[in-house]
Structure 1
Amino acid sequence: MQNYSLNKKLGALWHLILIGIILSSTPALAKKRLRPQLSERQQNQISGIITDGRTPLPGVTIAIKNRINYAVLSDFDGKYSLIAKANDTLVVSYIGYKTAIIPINYRKNIHIQLQEDITSLQEVRINAGYYSVKEKERTGSIARITAKDIEKQPVTNVLAAMQGRMAGVNITQTSGVPGSGFEIQIRGRNSLRTDGNSPLYIVDGMPLGTESLGNSSFLSGSILPGAGVNTLSSLNPADIESIEVLKDADATAIYGSRGANGVVLITTKKAKGGKTTFTTNTFSGVGQIARRLKLLNTEQYLNMRRQAFKNDGVTTYPANVHDINGNWDQNRYTDWQKELIGNTSRHRQIDVGLQGGSESTKLLLKMTNYNEISVFHGDFEYKKTAFQFSGNHRSENQKFQLDLSMQYVLDQNDLPGSDLTLDAINLAPNAPALYDNGGNLNWENSTFVNPIQKIKEEYLAKTDFLNAGGSFAYRFFPSLEFKTMAGFTDSRLLETKIAPSTMYNPALGLDNSSFSFLLQNKGYQQSWSLEPQLHWNKAFVNSTLNVLVGATFQERTFGTQALRAFGFANNRLIYNMAAANTITIFNNDNSVYRYNAVFGRVNYTYRNKYIINLTGRRDGSSRFGPGKQFANFGAVGMAWLFGKETLVEQLLPSLSFGKLRSSYGSTGSDQIGDYQFLDTFSSTGLPYQGIIGLQPTRLFNPNFSWERNTKFEAALELGFFNDRVMLTTAYFKNKSDNQLVGIPLPGTTGFASIQSNFPAEVENKGIELEWHSKIIAKTNFSWNTSFNLTFPKNKLVSFPDLAGSTYANQYVVGEPLSIRMVYHYTGMNTQTGLYEFEDYNKDGLIRSAEDRKMLINTTPEFFGGLQNSFTYKNWQFDFLLQFVKQIAPNFNNFKSMPGLSVNQSVDVLNESQPFSAGFNSQASNAYSFYRNSDAAFGDASFVRLKNIALTYTLPTLSGWDCKLYLQGQNILTFTKYKGLDPENYSGVRIPPLRVLTLGTQLTF
């Protein structure tokens, strides 16, 4: 397998630039400079077509500047005709669009494209994937953020920019490590499989495969949870123009089987016309862990340890108990959270862009370089370099349009082999120094396991990501357009993890380089997509009709190869596999996924008040067997703009907008991986008569098919006082059945399970509230605020024979999928000093399965965000509050028993907890139950000042625009949670960082 070379990719970029230059020069070369054919005094007939760049606009007013009482309207096909002089100027106006001033300049045919006036929220055009729709006219549920929101946040992942800003979209960061992943749920969890709940990601029309290219089983471990080296982490937030999230059936059904868990549409920045502009945006900043645990100091820790030995009846400290038997300094104290994970992260970004062009041809070139030093002890660095190209061309007659875009990202992540957070929490406060007087690792006469050895075990991930796409459109008639979208993505990963002999204690005899080893994984993912489409629209006297039909052809190849090299002549050769004594192949997987579909949409609007939207798709997937490869999905959405009714206008004059909308339909899912229906085999690795044998790994089952998700939504949208206040209330209810899970098999078959459809049903329902308001709108001062709130409910509706399945101790019918079945802690026995728990089966014993009946629901009770934006003259201040109401595992869930040689929270001094040094088996057993009881869960609700941004715009000087800004992320967290972070509550991973940046943006 060859890496996608940098030279080839830069060569492709150069060719695209050349194509754009040729396109930009063609109109100028083709245009003839003829003498004016129109007389300045003579009246001439001027005609043309008025569009919004996509469809003709009927009813547009075309007037002549300085001529009173003369104007015409465009017809249903957007055509117009009027009488004017050669040097007159047209004034073109239409509700919801900016007024265009067009000099005739001796022309007879003038085609005009109007730009939307986005000062009105309801006039904003929303990207719905295969089509766009005005906010006021949409029948589906679509959430949106734009570059204005993203640019105010110092983040490296596009999902981080969405947190707290969208109703129904719950996003959690899995780690504070640079480049780590995020978990996203759009209106809840639909599938029983944890890997079957990912949404579909579309970047400029190109689907992205988000399967991890990493081999987390032995490479990344816990350092990059959530598959931090997946494709999504490689996207550059600075290149994003907007992100739309499609939620309900009306919005997602057109994506069929890929839209069951929602769709995330990512649109990159495109070239704009006008004068050539150069923009540079630079910032630098610092980051630290936002919250630390309050741990015992040395005196408190040693008192706990002494009491633990006393409780266990041990009067003489063993020789291997170095923290308390005098081998270690009894007066020494080290704040290990500060020492191991308390460094100040430094980061900086440089972003430069050049764009410009004529009215018909535009080009954009952009480059971003990002660098971040981690908070871990040691010198670890995360780098990202991104290149972006965008070009578009539109012919003078407005019939032909070509759009090209490309993003290329180089991503490099250098990290310790393991997260040091748990070491920082557990290490005794009087543990020895990390280094001796000579600067070498200190092993304190073999009494100390130095955590710095994990830093010597370095992890390095290098990713190359290319996403290129384009569209070709030709309008045969004002009402008929043919369009083809094509795209290609290529992602390559090389990750390594080394264990040099220098990481070992010399006393172990492993400090010879022959004990060094290298783990290496190469992964690749390559995909192409082609989507021809036909758009037809027609305006009638009181109605409009839009029809879309199209097809999708997609193929994705995926592969990984993991190797282990052991024994090197010298540690300097550790990255050279040819210098290893032995090389072992861990896995070598390759797969091909093919997907075809046909889809369609019919949208009918009557009197601009009654809208019906029909979407459908027939999907075909290679992940199912013969006869099961195809399925049909569809939806209907309806909207009534009742605010335009005469009676409503008379009775409610303050109501400027009113809409009722509803949708119902079905989507599906084929997120099960490739070749799941086939007999598959893997190598045994053992030779027999000189031949390596094979062993079966999966049974043949051609009968399973698509998961199906049925969605219903009803929503009310209201606008008051000329849309100064906008309110939206939505109710949704989704049901997912035909679950794709492993059906347990008898052990005599040789297989634990077989992939199949199971008639279990999962329900998600909830209420979403959104509020947008312009509280103050003065010339020198304005105040805008937005609020979103979601109340989600998840439930396992049915699961036949659940009690007899392997899921009996994981799920309960009528309860959410996120429940945890734990012991019920009833208190501590004052006589025995042991924890006690409820004996559900009344047999006098606490047993693993029979007595873990207490249910803890970790689904958030509600979540949301509050965003405010203030402007005063040249100043602007924005802040976002994110909040979540939830229960989650707390410090008791992952900490060791108080009294062992690990540090504890200061809370153990105030709680009635028995200390044990591990010599009391009854106390140890009771504590293992305690860690898996409801005492290990608690309130993890929080309110977080997620983002702040203060911007000052300098007065324009000689064509220069300059902005100075201060930005912050994860500034303050208000919570009662007992642990490091209520969002990332694993306890063994570094939490999200508090980040502050200063930056400058220049445009000239």
Structure 2
Amino acid sequence: MNKFSFILKSGTINFSLAVLVLFFCTTTWASPLSLRQQTQQQITGTVSDASGPLPAVTVTVKGKTIGTLTDQNGYFSITAAVGDTLIFSFMGYKTVEVTVNNQNTIKVQLQEDATALKEVTVNAGYYSVKEKERTGSIAKITSKDIENQPVSNVLAAMQGRMAGVDIIQDGGTAGGGFQVKIRGLNSLRADGNAPLYIIDGVPFSSETIGYNNTTTGMASSTSPLNSINPNDVESIEVLKDADATAIYGSRGANGVVLITTKKGKAGKTKFSINSTTGVGRVTKFIDLMNTEQYLAMRKKAFANDGITTYPANAFDVNGTWDENRYTNWQKELLGGTAEINNIQASVSGGSALTQYLFSGTRRTESTVIPGDFNYSRTAFHTNINHSSDNGKFKIAFSGGYTLQDNKQPSADLTRVARNLAPNAPALYDANGNLNWENNTFQNPLAALNTYSTVDTKDLLANVVLSYAILPNLVAKANLGYTDTHNFEQRVIPHTIANPSSNFTSAVSSLWNNTTERQSHLFEPQLQWKKDFASSSLDILVGATTQYQQTSRLFANGQGFASNTLITNMASANTKNVLGSDITVYKYQAFFGRVNYNYKERYIINATGRRDGSSRFGPGKQFATFGAVGAAWLFSKESFLKESSVLSFGKLRMSYGTSGNDQIGDYQFLNTYGTNGLNYQGIVGLEPIRLYNPDFGWESSTKLEAALETGFWQDRVFLTLAWYTNRSSNQLVGIPLPGTTGYSSINANLDATVANKGVEVTLRTVNWNGSDFKWSTNITLSAARNTLVSFPGLAGSTFANRYVVGQPTSIVKVYEYQGVNPQTGLYEVADLNGDGLITAAGDKQKVMDLTPEYFGAIQNQVQYKNWQLDFLFQFVKQQTNGYTPSAPNGYFFNQSSALTNVWQQAGDNATYQMPTSGQNSAAVTAFNRYMDSDALIVDGSYIRLKNIAISYDVPLQSKGIQCKIMFQGQNVLTFTPYKGGDPEFRFTGYLPPLRVLTAGVQLNF
């Protein structure tokens, strides 16, 4: 590690010296050249459109770094020479170029562009590029898309809006996580498929900061991306292919998500206040048995098992509980209403040289589960940009600080609500206390006395300095810093137990997790641009040095004198440190990009990166990745230039490699830990991981071809893309025999995973009148994931998990044969024909749970002051059906469909005979049924994912703008799926909620 640290430091020093030398050399010989430049003059003027002056229009001198912005009156002033060309550009308007002659004043009127798609500038990370000139695959959404959604996490705002990007929410609990897959699964490791997140140029770690023992009520740990306030985001770009991601090297194997926050704009000071309030409810409940159906099932189960006298603990049927009582426990325990409130205020403005923005937000969410549980987030965001008078020096600062407080139940009641007998007793007795029904009822509300708290503080800061050394040469430095403090507690008081059931022996306990993570980033860069007579050349070189340190402490305490002291670890009678570590991650890279554009129709883009990571052993720390992308704008050819139908046409291709080092720190070293056991007054060490210096980077090879076409002045814009990715040299834990003392060793597995797919995006401007506008966006993605090769698979422990030629997301199951009409039991196929039913021989049917295709249809409609935006998301997939906790007939409620059960010999029934548990053959048949393809069902759906309606209130005061809004998320779902929410894939946890909000926005 010391040797590597020296390499990193020396590499940075050498690069910094090179930049200084280049700066010295260029400034010394630049002076004589400047004497030969043409005489400069001050050009002033105004920019407007059909309705009046346009503020914040960008005015630049073509081929130079000189630029400015128009003020609130559309006025600008810039220095230029005779013969220079001024470029006037503004989002949504056609770009205008004006040649400077002898005039000192220029007036320009911009015209609206029907779509302006081709002129949109796309953020590609280290550089930006116009949409029409990009050679890579980049999907983008803007603040207009995000603001229309009442979501607390930016990942939720991306759902359904980007081709090739599959996002699944992990639950309806506030603060929960998301699964993000960009063009499939590349790694065999579940934690090796996360994309790289970049926020304002600073890498943001998506590694889990939670601890399973402290957030058991959630389907996954707290999402780190919750610290990003969606209302502060200006745009999100997703880089997908090799051309777009290779410049990020090892960190771009699974795609890159670029999040750009809002910035101030030149003009008069503007104040904005946005306040919304809303409610959230569970989207769909499972249709369960009522009391009559349930008791009939239970009594039939005992009769089938030959039991005539009900057991003493069968409280539901032996007369202990009221057989005429009915409670819909899903509505009782999960049918509450979550209250959601959000308020944001901002101030922005500035001059042509300095712009600023300050904003603050406060969001609170309760839950649908009974109890005092809340999530709150307070966020502050600032951005300041400044440019010198001559435009050579620029500085930009952006920063954000977020505080999150999340208190959620440690026990999710979703499974309990589905299992409870419908005639179970009331939750409270006559005195308002928890009802234990004479020790016959385990009250589910008692579990809510256990809770988890998560207190997270995030700081993210970024400074970008740039200086135009020459008109065509710019030096830039990107400095970033992140600081995360996460403190979690899981509180388990002894009062969760029935007071009458051995109350005195119950022990209170506390679980603590403290995680701190800091990261430093330094990125010097040089960019040289030059326009020639018929071509242009853009060269970028730079380096990255990143240092990240993570410290964690996991502790447990038991036995508190009073529950009022339970959150204080010092008050515990016994304390145990479950884990404590400090890890350091060092990363260094040198990168470069060369872009050549010939006649604005032939473009080639080459990127490369030399990466170094401290996560690999000596000799394996460095690797090189690169890509080449090319584009042909064939609509610029002479034979198509005058076409009245085809307004834009581009064919692009890319090929390259990227890597992956998402394996955690120190994985190649012999590592030791402690289980905390004390032997003769000494706590010893035990080996945890074997030394393996030979494992290195995972590598991914990506190939893409795409066609982009615009018709009728781009009113119809269609993009077709085909891609294939191959990931090899897989980093996995290879299992070892127990005799070695280790469960596995980290190594590179000679296995290859391929992802192939097609993506379609279509945008149409259906109507573009003065009062009425209507546009449609459609995305469609179809992908196939395949395990191409896996030498020695049959003899490995992975044999029961993977099949060569099949997706890596498969499950192996029994082949279901139905209910035997004679025995009344479920049957599965004897696939190997040996006369026995065994998992090794017969649990071999392969079921693919990868979505066959997915996409969305979005419509935006505007009529005068009214605006309507709605998006339908659709998925074609197979998924796990509702999985009951026990065979029908047990002390658990069941789906109402299980009323169609086998009764007697000869019956052709859908479900097997009920059993109380005494029929071992029925229990075995049920377990095989649960592991069969009978539980893999059609989970396809069409969902009104988002709807937003707004009205701009006409006010007499021109200085005030007022907008009234109504928004909905997960509003309506059409699906054949009977197991609850078809989008949600964790059946034992609370599914995502339907959220409806109303609000008002004031700008003045």
Partner of 2:685: 694
Q: Find the counterpart in structure 1 of residue 19 from structure 2.
A: none
Which residue type is aligned with residue 880 of structure 1? L
Partners of 1:115 and 1:673 lie apart in 2 by: 53
- The answer (yes or no) to whether the contact 2:66–2:391 under 8 Å persists in 1 is no
- SS of the equivalent of 1:710 reads strand
Q: Which amino acid in the other structure matches residue 80 of structure 1?
A: A
Paired residue for 1:621, among 613, 624, 647?
613
Which whole-Å CA distance do the structure 1 matches of 2:448 and 2:861 have between them? Answer: 45
TM-score by length of 1: 0.90
Per-residue CA shift, 1:829-883, capped at 9, x if unaligned?
Answer: 1111111111122222211222111111000000000000000001000100000
Say whether residues 1:80 and 2:76 are aligned partners. no
Q: What is residue 485 of structure 2 aligned with on the other side?
A: 492
- Show CA shifts across 1:659-679 (max 9, x none): 000000000000000000000
**Are the structure 2 counterparts of residues 55 and 594 from structure 1 closer, same or farther at C-alpha, using a change threshold of 3 Å?**
farther
Contact 1:890 1:985 in 2 (8 A): no
Residue 940 of structure 1 corresponds to: 939
Which amino acid is the alignment partner of residue 587 of structure 2? Y
The Cα shift of 1:483 comes to 0.6
Counterpart in the other structure of 2:390: 397
> Contact (CA 8 Å) 1:549, 1:601: kept in 2 or not?
yes
Matched-pair contact (CA < 8 Å) for 2:64–2:471: no
CA distance in 2, matches of 1:520, 1:711: 43
> 1:449: which partner in 2?
442
2:563 corresponds to which of 565, 571, 586: 571
Find the partner of 1:355 among 348, 352, 359: 348
Q: Distance in 2 between matches of 1:95 and 1:424?
A: 55
| Counterparts of 1:107 and 1:431, CA distance in 2 | 88
Deviations 1:285-306, CA, capped at 9 Å, x for gaps: 1111111111111111101111
In 1, Cα distance between equivalents of 2:242 and 2:61: 28
Which of 455, 460, 463 is residue 453 of structure 2 equivalent to? 460
* Correspondence 1:571-650 to 2 at 5 A: 571-650=563-642
Question: Equivalent residue for 2:773?
Answer: 782
**Partner residue, 2:667:** 676
Q: Is the 8 A contact 2:462 2:480 kept in 1?
A: yes
Output one character per residue of 1:511-542: Cα deviation in whole Å (capped at 9) or x when no partner.
57x71111111111111111110010000000
Deviation at 1:119, TM superposition (A): 5.0
For 1:295 and 1:313, the matched residues in 2 are separated by 26
Paired amino acid for 1:356: G
- Aligned counterpart, 2:893: 903
Give the superposition deviation at 1:757: 0.5
Q: CA deviation at 1:579?
A: 1.6
Q: Is the 8 A contact 2:59 2:89 kept in 1?
A: no
Contact 1:534-1:550 within 8 A present in 2 as well = yes
Structure 1 residue 684, shift from structure 2 partner: 3.7
Which residue in the other structure is 1:224 paired with? 218
- Which residue of the partner structure matches residue 383 of structure 1? 376
1:60/1:93 contact within 8 Å kept: no
User: Displacement, 1:687?
Assistant: 3.1
SS, match of residue 118 in structure 2:
helix
Name which of structure 1's ranges 472-481 and 902-911 shifts more when overlaid on structure 2.
Answer: 902-911
* 2:731 counterpart of 1:740: yes
Structure 2 counterpart of 1:203: 199
Relative to structure 1, is the Cα distance of residues 56 and 140 closer, same or farther in structure 2, using a 3 angstrom cutoff?
Answer: farther
> Match for 1:336 among 326, 329, 335?
329
CA distance in 1, matches of 2:771, 2:644: 29
Amino acid at match of 1:625: G
**Of the candidates 174, 190, 194, which is equivalent to residue 190 of structure 2?**
194
CA distance in 1, matches of 2:328, 2:793: 49
In structure 1, what is the Cα distance between the partners aligned to 2:570 and 2:850? 50
Three-state SS of the structure 2 residue aligned to 1:647 is: coil
Aligned CA distance change for structure 1 residues 484 and 541 (closer, same or farther; 3 Å): same
Structure 2: distance between partners of 1:99 and 1:690: 78
Any unmatched runs of 5+ in structure 2? 1-38, 46-55, 68-77, 901-909
Report if the CA contact (8 A) 1:467-1:488 is conserved. Answer: yes
Residue 919 of structure 1 pairs with residue 918 of structure 2: yes
Q: Which amino acid aligns with 2:672?
A: F
**1:518 aligns to 2:510 (yes or no):** yes
- Per the TM alignment, residue 53 of structure 1 is displaced from its structure 2 partner at its CA by 7.2
Change (3 A) 1:132 1:91: closer
Contact residue 40 and residue 81 of structure 2 kept, 8 A: no
Query: How far has the Cα of 1:107 moved from its partner?
Result: 12
Letter in 2 for 1:238: N
Alignment of 1:228-243 (within 5 A): 229-243=222-236
Question: Could you tell me how far apart the structure 1 residues matched to 2:203 and 2:83 are?
Answer: 46
Q: Does 1:988 align with 2:988?
A: yes
Give the match's secondary structure for 1:122: coil
* Identical amino acids, percent of aligned pairs: 53
SS in 1 for 2:157: helix
2:178 equivalent to 1:182: yes
Q: Shift in Å at residue 895 of structure 1?
A: 3.6
Residues of 2 paired with 1:756 and 1:425: CA distance? 43
* 1:95 positional shift: 10
Q: Which amino acid aligns with 2:166?
A: N
The answer (yes or no) to whether the contact 2:658–2:700 under 8 Å persists in 1 is yes
Distance 1:55 1:895, change over 3 A: farther
SS state of the match for residue 753, structure 2? Answer: strand
Would the alpha carbon gap of residues 605 and 152 (structure 1) be closer, same or farther in structure 2, given more than 3 Å must change?
Answer: same
> In the alignment, does 2:35 pair up with 1:57?
no
Find the residue that maps to 2:333 and give its secondary structure: helix
The residue aligned with 2:857 is: 866
**Residues 1:542 and 2:534 aligned together:** yes
Q: How many angstroms does 1:219 deviate by?
A: 1.6
Aligned to 1:269: 262
Structure-2 change in CA distance of 1:115 and 1:546 (3 Å): farther
In 1, Cα distance between the equivalents of 2:917 and 2:130? 66
Equivalent residue number for residue 971 of structure 1: 971
| TM-superposed deviation, 1:55 | 8.1
Q: Give yes or no for contact 1:504–1:511 (8 Å, CA) kept in 2.
A: no
**1:507 equivalent in structure 2:** 500
State whether structure 2 residue 312 is matched by structure 1 residue 322. no
Tell me the TM-score normalized by structure 2: 0.90
SS in 1 for 2:500: helix
Deviation (angstroms), 1:396: 1.1
Structure 1 residues 60, 395: closer, same or farther in 2, change over 3 A?
A: closer
1:101 deviation in Å? 12
Pair 1:426 & 2:440 matched: no
Q: Does 1:46 align with 2:47?
A: no
CA pair 59-405 structure 1, distance change in 2 beyond 3 A: closer
2:23 is aligned to none
Gaps of at least 5 residues in structure 1 are 1-43, 63-73, 84-89
Q: What does residue range 780-929 of structure 1 map to in structure 2 within 5 Å? A: 780-891=771-882, 893-910=883-900, 911-929=910-928
> Conserved in 2, the CA contact under 8 Å of 1:278 and 1:354?
yes
Secondary structure in structure 1 of the residue aligned to 2:144: helix
Coordinate RMSD, CA, aligned: 2.6
Query: What per-residue deviation string (whole Å, max 9, x for no partner) do you get for residues 608-635 of structure 1?
Result: 0000000000000000000000000000
Post-superposition Cα deviations, 1:759-793, rounded to whole Å, max 9, x if no partner, equal 10000000000000101001100110000000100
Q: What is the CA–CA distance in structure 2 between the aligned matches of 1:717 and 1:641, rounded to whole Å?
A: 9
Following superposition, the deviation at residue 359 of structure 1 comes to: 1.1
Query: Matched residues in 1 for 2:522 and 2:361: separation?
Result: 29
**Could you report, residue by residue, the CA deviation over 1:366-389 in whole angstroms, capped at 9, with x for unpaired residues?**
000001110001121110110011
User: Number of aligned pairs?
Assistant: 932
Asked if 1:755 is matched to 2:746, the reply is: yes
Q: How far has the Cα of 1:470 moved from its partner? A: 1.3
For the Cα contact (< 8 Å) 1:48–1:81, is it kept in 2? Answer: no
How far apart are the structure 1 equivalents of 2:372 and 2:782? 44
SS at the partner of 2:963? strand
Separation in 2, partners of 1:898, 1:987:
18
